Amino acid sequence: MENIKHILESLLFVAEEPLTVDRIKNILTQAATADIRAAANELAAEYEQRRGGFYLDEVAGGYQIRTRPEYTEWIKKLIQPKPLRLSKPALETLVIIAYKQPIIRSDIEHIRGVDCGGVLRMLLERKLIRVLGRKEIPGRPLIYATTKRFLEVFDLKSLKDLPTPKEIEELGVGAGDNSAANVLDSAATSETLLENSGGLEAAGERLDSAESAEEGPPPDEPARDTLRQTESNHQPNPESDNPDEAFEKSS
């Protein structure tokens, strides 16, 4: 197929989210997967050689044109983007879901020791987590997992790109660093969090199994009362989350 590289570039330019190969193939019906990947790699090489204001990034299972971080200061003066702000409780909850998904609310609260209903609602509203369905145990609690939006925000190709405890230790992430990415990395070293999780590959396999078991798409957000229901006999500490302490992730 002729001009596949230029067509792909135009699609990436107007897309508001990463484009997967499958989605591109739905548009370029005559193009082979290998040709699409080759065109994307060629574009990425050209952008790197030119070292202009943007580059082609492989993120959230697809491709996306992104501006280079060194020009963020000037871009902010033009569009003044609203940064993603997450409280410390929200980040802790997000870490647990990321490393142990699919997971139900009672398991999250068992690890954190506090009620997580409000935090889960907020993460659902921000589209950082989603509901896969219900677990077939008494009470049929909701099952949570991360979204493609989560991968985009933290610049990850897939869940396998989450840092391992060994990698985090080698980076020597300081506790005083308040960026969302570093807080995510630091919290991932928790022995309680990683206990019996089987590692990142196991988390991906558990998520794939849970998704394949679903008959239809899950709701974007569950009703308020379903988040308040008792999902097990576990009674969390009545201590409440403090939403005032926030950390910022600039994109």
pLDDT recorded at residue 191: 39
Query: What number of residues does the chain have?
Result: 251
CA dihedral for 73, 74, 77, 78, sign (positive or negative): negative
Domains of the chain: 4-77 (1.10.10.10), 84-249 (1.10.10.10)
DSSP lists the bridge partners of residue 63 as: 19, 58
Which residue is associated with the tokens 């699609």? 11
pLDDT recorded at residue 236: 45
Confidence band for 232, pLDDT divided at 50, 70 and 90: very low
Confidence band for 238, pLDDT divided at 50, 70 and 90: very low
**pLDDT digits over 122-148, tens only?**
999 999 999 999 999 998 999 999 998
Stretch 27-40: mean pLDDT: 90
Quote the percentage of the chain above a pLDDT of 70. 65
Give me the helix-helix angle, 105-112 and 88-100, nearest 10°.
120
Mean pLDDT of the chain: 74
Higher pLDDT pick, 213 / 162: 162
Which residue is associated with the tokens 């999902």? 231
pTM exceeding 0.85: no
Higher pLDDT pick, 54 / 163: 54
Which residue is associated with the tokens 């509901």? 131
